[in-house]
Structures are given as structure tokens and as C-alpha cells.
Amino acid sequence: MSARQTPAQAAEGFFRVMPCAVSPSMLEEYGIEAPREQALQVTRELLSLSLFWARWALRTHLSARDAALVLDEFRQYVLRNWDTSLGQVGQDVQRYFDDMQERHLTYDEIIKEGGAPVAVATEAASIMEQTGAIRAEDRQRALALLIDQIPVDELGELAENIKLIG
């Protein structure tokens, strides 16, 4: 049985398990050659997809009100860590949040149509290609990166164990 926690504590738990800044050398481990700017884009896509799964998990296990409280706190964690652990110095955070909302609508449609998590990750890899974060020939490698780096099951377990104070 888990202890009661504030929305901020729950959000911190989610933030701790999500991938942080992706470096060009990490991309090279997957056979993807990308300069720093593209690694920044990949980081944002990983974060967007991670947050999508966190949102789904929270909405599955918590009331709409409680899920919204935790997601609002998570957004604050992103803002506080944008330049540091997320490595997004000089990148427009509001544009990121706007883009993320668009992606989440696309991912929601895939799930509503019965798509599996790999279908969502495939769409994310396609978006990475369309935005120039990766080359077309790296799409399968990017898919492997997304599947490896996004802790879908762990996010579900975290959400399942949240018991908010109040």
C-alpha cells in the first residue's frame, strides 16, 4: 500500500522515471547520426510521448480532477528543468507545450482506434522524421529508441499507486 502524497510529489515521481536530455552520443548508440540541434528535438519528442503515456495512466487510475492536478504539477517540473536536465537552453517552452498538445491529439486518435503502444511510438518516429529530428533512413532506429527509453509500464504502475492527500 502506498503512502498518500501531494500532486507535486506524484509529479516528481513521474519526472524521475522519464528520459532526460538525449545526447548525440546516445543517438549514435542507436545508429542515428544527429547533431546537437536534432538531439534537442529528439529529447522533446521523447518527453512528449512520455507525458502522453503518463497522462493516459493518470486518467486511467485517478479522477479527472486528481489527474489534472498531477499533470499541472508535472508541467511545472518541465518548466523548472527545461534548461537543465532536459537540456533545452534557448528553446521555446511554450511552443513545445503547444506542439505537445497537437501530438497528444494525434496519439489519442490512434489509441481510440484500437492502436497499440507500438503504433503510437511509430507515429512519434514519423513525426520525428517530418520535423527533421531524424533522417528517413533512421525511422526504425528512432522507433527502437522510443520503445527502449519510454517507461510505459513503469508510468502505469506509478499512476496505479498514487493516493493523493486531500
Q: What is the largest CA-CA distance in the chain?
A: 50
Angstrom distance (rounded) from CA 157 to CA 152: 9
Q: Please tell me the pTM assigned to this model.
A: 0.92
Report, as ranges of residue numbers, the positions in the chain whose pLDDT lies below 70.
1-2, 166
47-57 pLDDT tens trace: 999 999 999 99
Q: Answer positive or negative: Cα dihedral of 100, 102, 104, 107.
A: negative
Angstrom distance (rounded) from CA 146 to CA 127: 12
The full set of domain ranges for the chain reads: 7-158
pLDDT of 3 reads 78
pLDDT of 166 reads 67
pLDDT of 24 reads 92
pLDDT of 55 reads 95
Angstrom distance (rounded) from CA 126 to CA 86: 22
Q: Which residues pair with 5 in a beta bridge?
A: 164
